Amino acid sequence: MIKVAVVVAVLILIVVVLCRGNIQRSLLYYPGSYSLAEVRRSAAAGDRLLWPTDDVDYYGIISRDGPAAFKGTIVVCHGNAGAAVDRGYYIAALERRGYRVVVLEYPGYGGRPGELSEGSFVADARRAAQRARQEFGGPLYVWGESLGCGVASALAADADLRPQGVVLITPWDSLANEARVHYPWLPVRLLLHDRYDNAANLASYTGPVAVVMAGRDEIIPNRLTKALYRSLAQPKRLWTFAEAGHNDWPNHPGAGWWDEVLEFLTTGE
């Protein structure tokens, strides 16, 4: 009986390892169910455009005109649910402060085809960030939200991009630690095909990093955000919204913390 149990356990383990990509995708990614036509209509309703093309090869969403004079270019990597057209608050808040903003769309999200994976997201975001910097100019800044922090931190680690500053909103230190919180009974290291290791990605980055934590975050425990913050050796600053949850941090364009973060990124103080 013991031998049979061992064989069954080994077979289950093999199945888990072989299926880990599919399992992870079902647990981690929740792309907004939009057609390309719906993305176009939603963007147009907010006076925004698909960029840099109006077809399935678009990289993200931008405003129709943008600020009159750019202080820099900000690329935003959104969270694991919805789509770029659902994050207009970044454009509204940051362009009024003089920055050109691109809210990136991941492959497989919005109206885009593509693979749901860290490798796919990061490679696509790298191409988009390079294109945005070339087209709009100025210093490049990278913002991430939740899972998007993993994409943003990977861009920060890219020696060719050299972003001027990084903002991480409700981040974890690593996806492995986050997965253990929600699935403590699973062999998460075997299941994880993607890593989204913010702490490792930022280890070699020397620019300023702003971290935003929701005090009542029900998705990413504060201890994981704090662990990431402690690991940062570069100039850093933490903003905590004590009464906010994971999805209701203060994103109103008039909120003063946007100004504080931008000042920190440009001065390091």
Q: Quick one: pLDDT band at residue 9, thresholds 50, 70, 90?
A: very low
Q: What is the pLDDT of residue 189?
A: 64
- The percent of residues above 70 in pLDDT, for the chain, comes to 87
Distances (CA, A) of 62 to 44, 86, 105, 144, 149: 10, 12, 11, 16, 20
Q: Which residues of 5-36 are buried (b: 16+ CB within 10 A; e: fewer)?
A: eeeeeeeeeeeeeeebbebbbeebbebbebeb
Q: What is the pLDDT of residue 266?
A: 93
Once rounded to an integer, what is the mean pLDDT over residues 81-91? Answer: 96
**Architecture of the domain defined by 2-267:** 3-Layer(aba) Sandwich (3.40)
Average pLDDT, the chain: 89
> With contact defined as beta carbons under 8 Å apart, do 212 and 241 qualify?
yes
Q: What is the pLDDT of residue 46?
A: 95
Domain boundaries, the chain: 2-267
Q: What is the pLDDT of residue 28?
A: 84
* Tens-place pLDDT, residues 179-197: 788 777 666 666 777 889 9
Once rounded to an integer, what is the mean pLDDT over residues 154-182? Answer: 92
Q: What is the pLDDT of residue 63?
A: 97
- Can you tell me the distance from the alpha carbon of 135 to that of 154, in angstroms, rounded to the nearest whole number? 21
Residue that has been written with the tokens 């504060």 in this structure: 222
pTM over 0.95: no
Residue 157 clears pLDDT 90, i.e. is over it = yes
Question: In terms of C-beta density within 10 A (0-12 exposed, 13-18 middle, 19 or more buried), how is residue 2 classed?
Answer: exposed
* Tens-place pLDDT, residues 202-218: 999 999 999 999 999 99
Residue 4 clears pLDDT 50, i.e. is over it = no
